[in-house]
Amino acid sequence: MGQNFMAALAAEIAELEGELDRDIRFVRLRELRKIMALYVGAKASEPATIVEAPAQSHRQTVQMRRVQSPERARALALAKEFVGRSLAPVPTREILEFVLSQGVVIAGNPPLNNLSAMLSSSDEFKAEGRSGWRVRNKLAEPPDEPSPDDQRDAQIYRDAEDGNDEAPSPPAGGGAAERGGVFS
């Protein structure tokens, strides 16, 4: 009985393998196992086992921040004081006028854009669109993720602080003038 059983088992395996060899999915699976075996070092005839990647350690990431200049810190402190007095959003131009009236020099050109970039990169302020700025309530809301425009403005400000006053490259696709104007 053992001989007959083994013969029947071998016949069924051979028949099933013959059917599977005609199925492109099985052929593909066999080839993928061979390729995987090359990477994990197993024999190609053995089904390869998938090795799980080790879990990421919970390392604390450290963000490098530039050391803030005293003039920049003073400008932000004055802006926070000024904006904090208002219940409504305060336009950037009004903040700039106040900061300049206190004797703080905003580096770079134009100062209005540089102040806006400073406020954008600070966790202390929240932009309210074209209406202006509010002081962020740290307990109530997390900081926004910076938009590509905010990141570009912050880079322009940093470049101006470093003495690199080159004009930024135009946006992809050209500006309104290259497209024939705004209302063309």
Encode pLDDT of 9-50 as tens digits: 888 888 888 888 888 888 888 899 998 888 887 555 555 555
Cβ count near 156 (within 10 Å): 20
Helix axes 92-101, 111-121, angle to 10 degrees: 100
Give how far Cα 125 sits from Cα of 12, 84, 99, 103, Å.
74, 10, 15, 21
For residue 124, count CB atoms less than 10 angstroms from its CB and return exposed for 0-12, middle for 13-18, buried for 19 or more.
middle
82: confidence class by pLDDT, cuts 50, 70, 90: very high
Query: pLDDT by residue (tens digit) across 109-148?
Result: 898 999 999 999 888 899 998 889 999 874 445 556 666 7
* Structural contact between residues 95 and 120, judged by C-beta atoms closer than 8 angstroms: no
Strand, coil or helix: what is 146? coil
In which residue ranges of the chain is CATH 1.10.10 found?
70-161
In this predicted structure, the answer to whether residue 168 has a pLDDT above a threshold of 70 is no
Fold of the domain built from segment(s) 70-161: Arc Repressor Mutant, subunit A (1.10.10)
Q: Which pLDDT score, from 0 to 100, does residue 152 have?
A: 78
Ranking 10-14, 80-84, 149-153 by mean pLDDT, the lowest is 149-153
Q: Per DSSP, which regions of the chain are E strands?
A: 125-127, 133-135
Distance, in Å, from the CA atom of 82 to the CA atom of 139, rounded to the nearest integer, reads: 20
What mean pLDDT comes out for the span 60-77? 76
Give me 136's structure tokens. Answer: 């962020």
Q: Which pLDDT score, from 0 to 100, does residue 134 have?
A: 92
